Amino acid sequence: MSDDTVRMFVNGQAMRGGELHDALASARFVGRVRTAPVYRFFDFDDVFPGLAPVSEGGWCVPGEIYEVSYRELREQLLPREPAELELSVIELEDGRGSLSMVCRRLPVGDGSVREITAAGGWHEHRAAAVDR
């Protein structure tokens, strides 16, 4: 990793095969990882997922890590992220930290959002939605 890059954890549309993955075209794929078990996972209108830190009832959310330049992050990825999410630092399963998009607030009682914590991740959730 150079001084011009940061680690970015993605768990939704920016992952390989997702609609936002082109925003990471120049980024280096580091690998598949999971978060520490301190997050819940939500589906916003079947369009994008949201990661929310919690003090209890969390699990290890699967995703991908990329080394991304600040320019790519600033100009390609962040402008395309939904307003319901914000950039933060998360904890990974192995204790390392990473940048990631997280929910601005815990989406409790919002009819357009449902928890998908048990779905196994965004790709699995989307595949199950197609099968319904």
- Give the largest CA-CA distance in the chain: 46
Reply yes or no on whether the pLDDT at 70 is more than 90. yes
What is the end-to-end Cα distance of the chain in Å, rounded? 42
Q: Per-residue pLDDT tens for 15-28?
A: 998 999 999 999 99
Q: Per-residue pLDDT tens for 80-116?
A: 999 999 999 999 999 999 999 999 998 877 678 988 8
Alpha carbons within 13 angstroms on the beta-carbon side of residue 36 total 15
- CA–CA distance, 131 with 110 (Å, rounded to integer): 25
Instruction: Please give the model's pTM, rounded to 2 decimal places.
Output: 0.91
Is the distance from CB of 36 to CB of 95 less than 8 angstroms? yes
| C-alpha to C-alpha distances, 72 to 54, 90, 95, nearest whole angstrom | 29, 20, 25
| C-alpha to C-alpha distances, 104 to 59, 66, 75, nearest whole angstrom | 19, 22, 21
**pLDDT of the residue at 6:** 96
